[in-house]
Structure 1
């Protein structure tokens, strides 16, 4: 088949790679001058199967209300006269029941385990350089209430195969000695020794080079300006190059990997995807004193921050701001990340030479992505991965290549168009 992949982030590039390995003729279209320059550029760096508890959980509604007035809140809804935001928010509330939370954790864990194994196989096969560390992820808690509340979701994750062990505060410091700087704040933690970390941007660009060498065609600096539909098929997309010259691209199949912009594209074809941009922030700092810096990837539960070591760089990322497609840097939120980092690790950094970044993560209300078929016969979905795009990219790419080829993927997951619709509206596209 001739397949066009729409988007060259980590999900688009992994999709292109596996499609090409399956023998398809593949073209990737992206508006940026190279791969991985938007949401994949400076994310938290964690490949985190253990980060499987969705934002939408029974305790979330009260937290969101409490955080509404806080400019530096971990999850901030900026209420707007935006119908898509309100519809997303209503669906988010429906996903907060215990039953839906358990269901969503299962989907996220199953896809994460499959994806992490696929990433490891791909790394071994291609010797991809991306500052990866296979030292696990340590999730630490500074609130006894939150640590106690984490026990039940942790058991659900373990029930579905996630290797996750609860730890005392002293055990957390033994695993990552840099935490001795904040030992008095820590009440406990959880460790997933099989999780990893690495630079998603470096990975995406390295894999794109291998894909190109294998025959994948990349059309960079190319914007999608329209669609042409013929009955139940997408006949072509209209694109404009860097000079503004418009042309048509035809294919047997199209794979939608446009991140937060997927919903707008799908809407042109009468498909309703509940995807809304969740603006995340990251700070990248140089390692000043290696003896004081962490090497195990960490998650700070209270502030919803992740810490990864990328060679001689420290990457700290997190927070989510639902404020439309605004990509301006909010210095209050940036400085809050630096402040928390210095509070936890006072000997590690002075906060100077910090590089701030923000990106739009394509969030679904359930945190479960859309992967599979759409109601348009030749349009396939691989989008809506939220904060777990890097974690789920390799498994999603491999799965969508199977689906395009008419095969069922080897992972237990509620793929769109292949299973009965579940509660929660994830399959709204069927009736759209």
Structure 2
């Protein structure tokens, strides 16, 4: 089958890999000059199935009000009027119930756990390297209230069979010795030993090279203008390089997916939520993190990537604005220096931002669209790197007419159609 994939981030490239391995003729189109140059470029580096959680959770509305007034706020909402923003926020608030949280987290963990298994198999089969580590994620709690609040997540982890350890301050320091000088700030932690870390940009570039060797064609510097539909099917893709025609099409454009889908009557509830990161060269390895530490107070992930520390987080609701704000950088620096002071050279740090494609319920939109030959692999939010391999494998199975290895009925666009 001839397949065109729109988007060459980690989601598009993993989709291309699995589709090529399934025997399809694949072309990937992207406006950038190479793979993983937007949201996949500078993410936090976590592959965290155990930490896969929807932002919509009980208590979030109250917390959000508090966050808005914090000096180092994890949430920033720009006041400019935006109907898409208001609609998305309202739908997210509808998911802030205990029942919705349990359902949403369970299906996110299902896909994330499967994705981690797919990545392990891919690594074993190909020998791909990307500054990977398999030492887990430590969710670090600075207050007793955070420790107590973790039990709603523990309940879901137990139900899904995800391994975890509840740690006191000494246990946190044993897992991450670089925290020893901040023992007084630690009330406890939740260790997820099955989580991994790695450089998403390196991974995507290496996988692209392997995909090319497997027969995939990549067309870069090509602006995607519109999808053309005829007779209930997509008949082609109009681009700055001409018209591309295939048997099936995959929409993997992250935050830009709704813009291409809307003219077809497909209303994807995906909003671009901006995240920031700094990448800091390590100058004292003994003070640096071993894996990923999630600073629960500021919702910031601090990850070891080879000889660098990647510090990423925050949620800025500001549409497609890509301004790099110094205040956001200050928050990232504050978190890493407070916990791992002196580990990195901040004078040589690089500052970045990207647009996370967020759905109101946290789960990506994965599977066939209402148009029979158009498939969706988008809306992964903060978990594109975590869910990429599994999402690509599921998509390849569905397009190839094979049964997926996990339940996928609640991952697709139909869940939004039911809501109207």
TM-score (norm 1): 0.94
Q: Is the 8 A contact 1:281 1:358 kept in 2?
A: yes
Structure 1, gaps ≥5 residues long: 242-246
**Which residue does the alignment assign to 1:127?**
127
After TM superposition, the structure 1 stretch with the greater mean CA deviation from structure 2, 74-83 or 300-309, is: 74-83
Q: Is the 8 A contact 1:137 1:298 kept in 2?
A: yes
C-alpha distance in 1, partners of 2:72/2:85?
20
Name which of 314, 317, 323 aligns with 2:312.
317
CA deviation after TM superposition for structure 1 residue 405, in Å: 1.3
CA deviation after TM superposition for structure 1 residue 296, in Å: 2.2
CA deviation after TM superposition for structure 1 residue 71, in Å: 6.4
Q: Deviations over 1:26-80 (max 9, x none)?
A: 0000011111111010100010012122110011101112223446421222233
Name which of 234, 249, 254 aligns with 2:249.
254
**Which residue does the alignment assign to 1:219?**
219
After TM superposition, the structure 1 stretch with the greater mean CA deviation from structure 2, 265-274 or 156-165, is: 156-165
Q: Is the 8 A contact 1:371 1:415 kept in 2?
A: no
3-state DSSP of counterpart to 2:31: coil
3-state DSSP of counterpart to 1:352: helix
**Which residue does the alignment assign to 1:44?**
44
Number of aligned residues: 420
**Which residue does the alignment assign to 2:161?**
161
3-state DSSP of counterpart to 1:163: coil
CA deviation after TM superposition for structure 1 residue 139, in Å: 1.1
Q: 1:52 to 1:274 in 2, by over 3 A?
A: same
CA deviation after TM superposition for structure 1 residue 412, in Å: 2.5
3-state DSSP of counterpart to 1:76: strand
Q: Is the 8 A contact 2:251 2:376 kept in 1?
A: yes
Q: Deviations over 1:319-373 (max 9, x none)?
A: 1111000111011011111022111222323522110000001001111000011
Name which of 402, 405, 414 aligns with 2:400.
405
Matches within 5 A, 1:162-177: 162-177=162-177
3-state DSSP of counterpart to 2:203: helix
2:331 matches 1:336: yes
TM-score (norm 2): 0.97
Structure 1 stretches (4+) deviating beyond 3 angstroms?
69-72, 413-418
C-alpha distance in 2, partners of 1:381/1:408?
17
2:259 matches 1:270: no
Structure 2, gaps ≥5 residues long: none
Q: Is the 8 A contact 1:142 1:185 kept in 2?
A: yes
CA deviation after TM superposition for structure 1 residue 304, in Å: 0.5
**Which residue does the alignment assign to 2:79?**
79
- RMSD over aligned CA atoms reads 1.5
After TM superposition, the structure 1 stretch with the greater mean CA deviation from structure 2, 202-211 or 231-240, is: 231-240
Q: Is the 8 A contact 2:35 2:204 kept in 1?
A: yes
**Which residue does the alignment assign to 1:244?**
none
After TM superposition, the structure 1 stretch with the greater mean CA deviation from structure 2, 74-83 or 157-166, is: 74-83
Q: 1:416 to 1:56 in 2, by over 3 A?
A: closer
C-alpha distance in 1, partners of 2:65/2:13?
38
**Which residue does the alignment assign to 1:388?**
383
